Structure 1
Amino acid sequence: MLMPQPSHGMAMTPEGDCVSQDFEYVREDGEEVVRIAARGREVLAHPMINFGTAFTRSEREELGLIGLLPPGVTNVYDQVKRIYRQYKTEPNPMARYVFLTALKDRNEVLFYRLVSEHIEEMLPIIYTPTIGRAIEEFSNWFHRPSGVFIDIDHPDEIEKSLRAYNLASDDVDLIVVTDSEGILGIGDQGVGGVSITVGKLAVYTAAAGIHPNRVMPVVLDTGTNNLQLLNDDGYLGVRHSRVRGERYDEFVDQFTRTAHRLFPHAMVHWEDFAAANAHRILARYRDELCTFNDDIQGTAAVVAAAALSAVRRSEIPLTDQRIVIFGAGTAGVGISDLLVQMMVDYGIDEQEARKHFWAIGSHGLIVEGMKMRDFQHPYARAESDVAGWRRHDLAEVVKRVKPTMLIGSSAQPGAFSEDVVRAMAAQQERPIIMPLSNPTSKIEALPADLLKWTDGRALIATGSPFDPVTYGGTTHTIAQANNALVFPGIGLGVIAVRATKVSDGMILAAAKAVARAGLSRYSGASLLPPVSELRSVSAKVGFDVAQRAITEGLAEVIPDDLVQAISDHMWHPTYPRVEVVDEV
């Protein structure tokens, strides 16, 4: 069985030599141990070995901490209680984000213990939507660098930059990388996008136990077209417009090849690339390297999971659904592609499956002969199919198509108007409606309105979290199609068997695992499992993804006991046994 690899605490010099570090994490007889060679204030300066007041008296003596900590010794449980009380005094989400970031920079184990015990409450703080505000203000509140900063003006420094993160070739399981052009619903954020990679990795750890010592956040700074940033004297990124074309592609390729050469077992997770590049980059590398795009594949998987749950309740088979995608960009087409694959799995031809979709992009309903992106072509309707239609009018499309499922990924608030929804509900007993755009200010319709306009019959999933809605005496728990239900488990499954690729089949396995985890038929039940169950959902997703990788011949390691392998790879935020050494 492949056991989690130790974090050796060894750095690579630019020449490729290893140099001693202050600590290393290892497993001995199934127990996590940290060997610490640092002493005194150096111990307290590193968040992965600073356990604060949890150090015992003898550990303090051996590590040279006498006099550097208050005399009282507390356990992690009491530390969490104290920190949580402090957290609750913060006045707003941004203040709480700053508080948690400071905690993570000080004591990473305690940070993850706190977040894991309050995951439903804190996920919107460490991830979307609060992180969007933090990214916008990155240059203003920058205090401690987190991640690897690689800029297009110095491509010769890519390898040096990656090595400077002080992780050896076998010590990296996961790299999350962004070029910051398509950050959440706020667009181009330049170098500040590094925060989305840090936040994403925090969710990987909190939800699926990916070891925080074995991950790497990276920002590819190719410039920015955000004039507000370029005219801000405090902006910390390169000061020119975004580089496009051949030079951009060569830069991304050089990063990708270098990262794979230095860290051959790491999955590269592409995050928040703009639609023009996201599909293209994924298509270029996915059959060659272990890469994954959460905006495309993760979003598709969690929405497909919600769709499967809704289909069961609507009692209309997936292969009989008529689906309108409003916002046929990176996410919308990714959702469509996975739903097509599911229909194929249920026995219909791929071309026939695509006829069940009507995709509306920025130029209206996608029709043959019009301007469109390459990835949109498979969903172009024949001109003869839509002759006489008002193709920019969603209400018109809904009345013509009579959809059973309406999916929004447009970032156009209020696009699912009362007229649109009532027209759909007039034709369907259980209309499936998913306004997925976030933050909440961008959502196509509010759940309370959808239930009102459909007389409580709508089956709903949203991109942002909403409180339950009571209508007609029934309390409806609103499913949040949060990618956090999917991507941590995908990473876990890949790591557990060292998958060489992330296949369509593995994404499909993830979607089905989430749908099963959320299976419930009581009136008003959520279509998806709650965020509070992230840890168990991630384990189930990881198992099914790993199993599919083995079945498809994509696993470098086949554990004797896959259940145990998944469990062994899920790091728990508890203080390891401390072993004081002279060197590591």
Structure 2
Amino acid sequence: MTKAMDILNNPYLNKGTGFTLDERQKLGLVGALPAKVQTLQEQADETYAQFKTKPKGLPQRQFLMEIFNTNRTLFFYLMGQHIVEFMPIVYDPVIAESIENYSNIFVQPQQAAFLSVDDQDNIKAGLKNAADGRDIKLIVVTDAEGILGIGDWGVNGVDIAVGKLMVYTAAAGIDPSQVLAVSLDAGTNNQQLLDDPLYLGNRHERATGEKYYAMVDKFVQAARELFPEALLHFEDFGRDNAAVILNKYKDEMPVFNDDIQGTGIIALAGVLGALNISKEKLTDQKFLTFGAGTAGMGIAQMLYDEMVRQGADPEEAKEHFYLVDVQGLLFSDTPGLTPEQRKFTRKRSEFTNADELTDLLSVVKAVHPTVMIGTSKQPGAFTEDVVKEMAAHTARPIIFPISNPTKLIEAMPADLIKWTDGKVLTATGIPVEDVEYQGVKYNIGQANNALVYPGVGFGAIAAQSKVVNEKMLAAAAHALGGIVDPTQPGAAVLPPVAKLEEFTTKVSEVVAQSAIDQGLAGKGITDAQKAVADLKWEAKY
């Protein structure tokens, strides 16, 4: 292959018609491109005009992926100009449809690494080949067993890792040539995929136990060896494995689990934002998490840790939490509890009607929560009865229906506002338009991990932090919680996606500062702002 083709086919180097005449001469591109030299802005205008002709949803995402696969600089320049419009397309919610159709519309692997449970001897070689000599500083890895809202999607789930990395670059400014998406293909229990002749992954049930954990460990060790400065971001692992894997590595190296820690930070930030508006104390709240899986438990743990930091007695703090899952309120004798759930269960002796607490309304009547967060994936679960019952016992109920995509949300904000006569403080996991109610415009904050994980990861990488710990995560939540003006009528509890880049920089700096303050930063790194600024990549020619 000629040198010209090498450059034009390399998305990190390619500028297309943006190559100057001088560059064309030097790089052997004369004659390989039309005569006109376009500016990046001209290319972006032309590309955006094409984008607007595409049908909404997946066709738009496929078009943007063609740009991403061809010219990373143009893609991220364009995304920077249209962040609010593009976020739902490149990430949530359109990414769900993209994952479901991944094997059917596979075009190219987007520089991801595909590692198989059936070929563990080649895990290191696979990582090395996919990196292709690039200086990898960030890896997003998934086994795609628990893709939020849609479940087990096997190798198709690599799309979530690609999407997450796009947000990292768009929000935080990590160099797209220094990131790597990784699929750990352990098989799938999704019968639809196993029956699909076009499915591209291992066609067998998921490996579990020793064989599965051996694959994870070989991946982690190979990544440490090949990319010693890289942060490992674990994404959408199943509820049985997510916390186990995080706990195994979190004290040894910089790792982050977005479903546990990212969801926890964004929920804490939202609650802090809401309490900023209501002028109430965190330690006076009663928390009900509806959905006690990976995300729900990450939220409970993060809120609990914050209560203890604010001076609550550790044992007394646990008394503020109620977990509700499919079987109702979780008690200490509920069968099949995870270690994370066990910490926050209740005793049956606390209730005269414990056997009746099998549905959300009964639990709300019994415990009178002040904060209710939904990660249940049960659409419409926050009914008018449930919400009115909750609102009858607290002046400003804090209700976050954060299940996504849209078809799985527990309640829409417009209903929550109406049912509580405008008193609710709410945030959702999906983008929602402002709500008008009795002359007030309510801004609805998006409790989307995309508001927080790019800053956490980028800050840790910029500081070359040895680990990512609870103090850094708390610093991130407080940074987000302090951006909204609480005196505005209808103020959102979280900042808008439109300010994503601005507040991601703030989160990055506080996380880097936390690493420095704790003595966890790399040698010679003493200035958080400088460390963050030095690492930032800009989409420009």
Does the alignment reach a TM-score above 0.5?
Answer: yes
Q: Is the 8 A contact 2:287 2:369 kept in 1?
A: yes
Alpha-carbon deviations, 1:143-163, whole Å to 9, x = none?
111200001000001011011
Alpha-carbon deviations, 1:390-447, whole Å to 9, x = none?
2211111111111111110100001100000001111111111100100010000011
SS in 2 for 1:381: coil
Equivalent position of 2:198 in the other structure: 234
Give the structure, 1 or 2, with the largest relative contact order (CA under 8 Å, sep 6 or more).
1
Q: Is the 8 A contact 1:309 1:519 kept in 2?
A: no
Q: Is the 8 A contact 2:185 2:201 kept in 1?
A: yes
Q: Is the 8 A contact 1:497 1:557 kept in 2?
A: no
CA drift of 1:387 comes to 3.6
Paired with 2:158 and 2:351, the residues of 1 have a C-alpha distance of 43
Query: Does structure 1 residue 380 correspond to structure 2 residue 327?
Result: no
Equivalent position of 1:18 in the other structure: none
**Aligned pairs for 1:260-275 within 5 A:** 260-275=224-239
Task: Return the letter of the residue paired with 1:77.
Answer: Q
**Aligned pairs for 1:206-285 within 5 A:** 206-285=170-249
Query: Does structure 1 residue 556 correspond to structure 2 residue 513?
Result: no
Task: Return the letter of the residue paired with 1:466.
Answer: V
Equivalent position of 2:88 in the other structure: 124
Query: Does structure 1 residue 572 correspond to structure 2 residue 538?
Result: yes
Task: Return the letter of the residue paired with 2:292.
Answer: A
Coordinate RMSD, CA, aligned: 1.3
Task: Return the letter of the residue paired with 2:339.
Answer: D
Q: Is the 8 A contact 2:18 2:37 kept in 1?
A: yes
Question: Match for 1:527 among 485, 489, 493?
Answer: 493
Q: 1:167 to 1:265 in 2, by over 3 A?
A: farther
CA drift of 1:39 comes to 2.7
> Percent identity, aligned pairs only?
47
Q: Is the 8 A contact 2:277 2:486 kept in 1?
A: no
User: TM-score scaled to structure 2, two decimals?
Assistant: 0.98
Query: Does structure 1 residue 68 correspond to structure 2 residue 32?
Result: yes
Equivalent position of 2:464 in the other structure: 498
Q: Is the 8 A contact 2:131 2:180 kept in 1?
A: no
Alpha-carbon deviations, 1:190-224, whole Å to 9, x = none?
10111111111010000000111111110000000
CA drift of 1:521 comes to 2.1
Question: Match for 1:352 among 316, 324, 328?
Answer: 316
Query: Does structure 1 residue 322 correspond to structure 2 residue 322?
Result: no
SS in 1 for 2:346: coil
Question: Match for 2:157 among 193, 196, 201?
Answer: 193
Paired with 2:153 and 2:462, the residues of 1 have a C-alpha distance of 34
Alpha-carbon deviations, 1:476-499, whole Å to 9, x = none?
011100111110001111111101
Query: Does structure 1 residue 444 correspond to structure 2 residue 423?
Result: no
Equivalent position of 1:299 in the other structure: 263
CA drift of 1:561 comes to 3.0
Alpha-carbon deviations, 1:281-311, whole Å to 9, x = none?
1111111121100011011101110100111
Task: Return the letter of the residue paired with 1:436.
Answer: I
Q: Is the 8 A contact 2:513 2:527 kept in 1?
A: no
Question: Match for 1:143 among 107, 111, 114?
Answer: 107
Task: Return the letter of the residue paired with 1:53.
Answer: T
Q: Is the 8 A contact 1:436 1:463 kept in 2?
A: yes
Equivalent position of 1:489 in the other structure: 455
Alpha-carbon deviations, 1:97-132, whole Å to 9, x = none?
000000011111000000011111101011011011
Shift >4 Å, 4+ stretches:
none
Query: Does structure 1 residue 93 correspond to structure 2 residue 57?
Result: yes
Equivalent position of 2:331 in the other structure: 367
Paired with 2:442 and 2:17, the residues of 1 have a C-alpha distance of 44
**Aligned pairs for 1:5-20 within 5 A:** none
Paired with 1:40 and 1:161, the residues of 2 have a C-alpha distance of 27
Task: Return the letter of the residue paired with 1:47.
Answer: P
CA drift of 1:312 comes to 1.8
CA drift of 1:568 comes to 1.6
Equivalent position of 1:27 in the other structure: none
Question: Match for 1:335 among 299, 304, 324?
Answer: 299
Task: Return the letter of the residue paired with 2:211.
Answer: R
Task: Return the letter of the residue paired with 2:299.
Answer: I
Paired with 2:149 and 2:523, the residues of 1 have a C-alpha distance of 39
Equivalent position of 1:82 in the other structure: 46
Q: Is the 8 A contact 2:510 2:528 kept in 1?
A: no
Paired with 1:470 and 1:153, the residues of 2 have a C-alpha distance of 55
Q: Is the 8 A contact 2:485 2:491 kept in 1?
A: no
Paired with 1:211 and 1:303, the residues of 2 have a C-alpha distance of 28
Equivalent position of 2:430 in the other structure: 464
Unaligned runs of 5+ in 2: none
User: TM-score scaled to structure 1, two decimals?
Assistant: 0.90
Alpha-carbon deviations, 1:7-33, whole Å to 9, x = none?
xxxxxxxxxxxxxxx9xxxxxxxxxxx
Equivalent position of 2:77 in the other structure: 113
Equivalent position of 2:475 in the other structure: 509
User: How many residues are paired up?
Assistant: 538
Equivalent position of 1:54 in the other structure: 18
